[in-house]
Chain A
Amino acid sequence: MSSILIIEQVLNGLQFGVMLFLMAAGLTLIFGVMGLINLAHGSLYMVGAFAAAAVAAATGSFLLALGAALAVAAAVGAVVEVAVIRRLYATDHLDQVLATFALILIFSEGTRYLFGSFPLYLDIPDALSGPVTLPGRIQYPLYRLALIGVGLAVALGLWLLIERTRIGIRIRAGENDREMIAALGVDISKLYTLVFALGAALAGLAGALVGAIQSVQVGMGEPVLILAFVVIVIGGIGSIRGAFVGAILVGLTDTLGGIFLPEFFKLFMEPAAGTQVGASLASMAIYILMSAVLVWRPTGLFGARA
């Protein structure tokens, strides 16, 4: 096993990780500020991907497609927040799970109704297609490298937004004491709509970016949703920093586990059996990681003590 392969796989893991972060950041923000479990977050990812694919097919511009993904996902997020989600803040987690599960059904079947069951395709823009040569003569797809860049840039932007701006101060204050900031004259319901739309936009962006390397289809959001939940639970729900660390951990574990665990078990088992055992363990690896973290720290790595 060469070092080039290892570096490639680490990059793949990072790319997967930062895309998970885009999903997880919104989920964790929405939970941290509003105390809401949003199972429909994966639907917003799907909405972003479909908006991007439709606009790219109509205009041929990848940038316009990304803009559409952001705008449509944010708009859909805002509408859903005002129409449904708002009524769930005061209810218990069970009702939230159920209502947002209902939203998944509505979104998935609604999208199937509009676009049909066949997958759509979103092409990588010409400027970003093809491989690039990294130091050490490693060939790596430019688009995936760009995804890592975009993911890190969004993480930085989000950090600046939360730590350095007035809106960020309000969001943090909303996490700590919603009654108090409402009493200080901040329109709390507008703030909630804004946070929800921001989370939705990030999910939509992730959907569009990943849509270009996978197919765009109904149900694409749910696997990513589950992984994003794993990420925020590992990181500690409500913590953006935790989401970032968790996303990178999950991205690397999943990617590297898929490659190296079968190889590892082949060292001391028959090749066929070793591949089998390694592959099963690899597909369960992140869930084992998550349960281990929770058993060790029941509120995640960066979670507030319950």
Chain B
Amino acid sequence: MIGGMSREFWVNFAVLAGLVAVPLWALVADEPFTITLATRVAILALAAVGLNIALGLGGLVSLGHAVFFGIGGYAMGILAHHAQTYTAVTEWPMLIEGTKSMPVIWLVAVVASALAALVIGVLSLRTSGVYFIMITLAFGQMFFYFAISWSAYGGEDGLSIYVRNGFPGLNTLVPIQFFGVCFAILCAVLWLNARLMRSPFGLALNAARQVPVRVETVGLNPMRLKLVAFVISGAITGLAGALFADLNRFVSPTMFSWQFSGEIIILVILGGVGRLFGPVVGAAVFVVLEHWLGGLTEFWLIWLGVILLLIVLFARGGIVGLLAGRAVAHD
């Protein structure tokens, strides 16, 4: 399948080139909204790349990844809210102040969502199959309702942040610069993901998904492998949540909604499960469909549903699978 591999490489290359070319063209043509759309693609792709580590590599069908997206979003919202109102996040046990600095916010988002993924993972991985899907869904609902009733941070209405957070040396209010930040993070995470897939950990995880018994026989603990994958996965989706909140300068409980968990699964499947660039293709196609079909008809979700149904029933490798052939075996 060497031919197939290189075809996938070219598909991936074309996708990245397209994701750079479109906003650059929009910059020249003075179409800032297109740059925002491309930024949206990069951020949703990042969230889906995160999910794909649990879903594609680990075989963990999580219907609760909105939890991490929302935690990332609220990490940004809470820190920036306190910074813009000149109040402290907490004064006890130590003084913690808000911040408008992106790198600090990202760090908090990643650490907080990784911790949440650790706790949820330890509890959820006791179950498997449908029960795993449902318990992750339940955790998602818990966070959703908690955010709704958390009136200190806007409750159901969410939080608005007036000015986008800053990154040293850049003006993030300029759309193309913020796109650059998101795109660079996406590339870095994709590179890490590619390394991860080929690392001993990635190979063991792959084996743990396919034949857990054999992994156990060679002395590895499949549960622990899956837990680590779940934590990495949650942390990446959390980072995407922080960026998404910064793109909209707004966070609300809908970031925790189970529909969003479903949506990122759609991105992964649309592109191709377990494919490195599957989530990127999925996010790009989703945003284009949303924009294009949404412009044609108010009822565009019907057509999204139909397309999705056709892909599940007839194109089981997703779009990357259609374009690049069955290079990676996944079950």
* Chain A interface (Cβ < 8 Å from any Cβ of B): 31, 37, 84, 87-88, 91-95, 97-99, 101-106, 108-110, 112-113, 222, 226, 229-230, 233, 237, 276, 279-280, 283-284, 287-288, 290-291, 294-295, 298-300, 306
Let me know if B174 is at the binding interface, CB within 8 A: no
B127 within 8 A of A: yes
Instruction: Closest A residue to B123 by CB, please name it.
Output: A295
Also in contact, A284 and B304, with CB within 8 A (given A95-B312, A298-B127): no
Among A37, A98, A279, the one with the most B-chain Cβ atoms within 10 Å of its Cβ is: A98
Select A102's contact among B55, B126, B305, B331, beta carbons within 8 Å: B305
* Known A-B contacts A287-B142, A294-B127, A298-B131; A279 and B149 likewise in contact (beta carbons under 8 Å): yes
Q: Which residue of B lies closest to A303 (CB)?
A: B131
Is A105 a contact partner of B141 (Cβ separation < 8 A)?
A: no
Q: In the bound complex, do residue A99 and residue B301 qualify as a contact, i.e. CB atoms below 8 Å apart?
A: no
Contact in complex: A109, B145 (CB < 8 Å):
no
Q: Verify A280–B138 contact, CB threshold 8 A.
A: no
CB of A33 to closest CB in B, whole Å: 14
Assess A105 versus B308: contact at CB under 8 Å? Given A97-B61, A113-B299, A294-B127: yes
Q: CB-CB < 8 A to B194: which residues of A?
A: none
Mark contacts of B13-42 with chain A using CB atoms, 8 A cut-off: 1 yes-contact digit, 0 otherwise: 000000000000000000000000000000
Q: Which residues of B contact A (CB under 8 A)?
A: 55, 61, 63, 123, 126-131, 133-135, 137-139, 141-142, 145-146, 148-151, 258-259, 262, 265-266, 269, 273, 299-302, 304-306, 308-309, 312-313, 316, 331
Known: A31-B130, A37-B133. 5 other contacts (CB 8 A): A94-B55, A94-B265, A105-B308, A109-B305, A284-B141
Question: How many Å from the CB of A284 to the closest CB on chain B?
Answer: 5
Taking CB atoms, residues of chain B closer than 8 Å to A288 are 142
Task: Output the least CB separation between B279 and chain A (Å).
Answer: 14
Residues of B within 8 A of A97 (CB): 61, 63, 133, 262, 265
Contact B306 A102 (CB under 8 A): yes
| Contact in complex: B149, A84 (CB < 8 Å) | no
Q: Which residue on chain B has the smallest CB distance to residue A87? A: B313
Question: Per DSSP, are chain A's interface residues mostly helix, strand or loop, or mixed?
Answer: helix
B138 touches A230 (CB 8 A): yes
| Inter-chain contacts of A299 with B (CB < 8 A) | 127, 131
A105 with B301: CB separation less than 8 A: yes
| Pair B149/A103 contact, Cβ less than 8 Å | no
C-alpha gap A94/B55 in the complex (Å): 9
B266→A98 contact, CB < 8 A = yes
Residue of B nearest to A233 (CB): B134
The answer to whether A110 and B309 have CB atoms under 8 Å apart is no
Distance in Å from the Cβ of B254 to the closest Cβ of chain A? 13
What are 18 A-B residue pairs whose CB atoms fall within 8 Å in the complex? A84-B313, A87-B313, A91-B312, A93-B129, A94-B273, A99-B308, A102-B306, A102-B308, A105-B304, A109-B302, A109-B305, A233-B130, A276-B149, A283-B148, A287-B138, A291-B123, A291-B142, A298-B128
Q: Which residues of A contact B150 (CB under 8 A)?
A: 280
Of B151, B269, B300, the residue contacting A94 (CB under 8 A) is B269
Q: Among the interface residues A94, A104, A110, A112, which one has the most CB atoms of the partner chain B within 10 A?
A: A94
**Cross-interface CB contact of A98 among B142, B258, B265, cutoff 8 Å:** B265
Is there contact, CB below 8 Å, between B309 and A112?
no
Instruction: Give complex CA distance A84, B135 in Å.
Output: 26
Give chain B nearest CB distance to A242 CB in angstroms.
13
CB neighbours of B302 from chain A (8 A): 105-106, 109-110, 113
B133 contacts A280, CB within 8 Å? no
A28 CB to closest chain B CB (Å) equals: 11
Chain A contacts of B131 at CB under 8 A?
233, 237, 294, 298-300
Whether A106 lies near B133 (C-beta < 8 A) is: no
Contact A99 B130 (CB under 8 A): no
Closest chain A residue to B259 by CB distance?
A222
Flag if A229 contacts B308 (CB, 8 Å).
no
Q: Are B258 and A226 in contact (CB under 8 A)?
A: yes
Q: Which residue of A lies closest to B306 (CB)?
A: A106
Q: Is the CB of A306 within 8 A of B305?
A: no
Q: How far is the CB of A293 from chain B (nearest CB, A)?
A: 10
Question: Are B61 and A93 touching (Cβ within 8 A)?
Answer: yes
Complex alpha-carbon distance, A287 and B143, angstroms? 10
Among A37, A226, A298, contact of B141 (Cβ-Cβ < 8 Å) = A226
Nearest neighbor of A272 in chain B, beta-carbon distance: B151
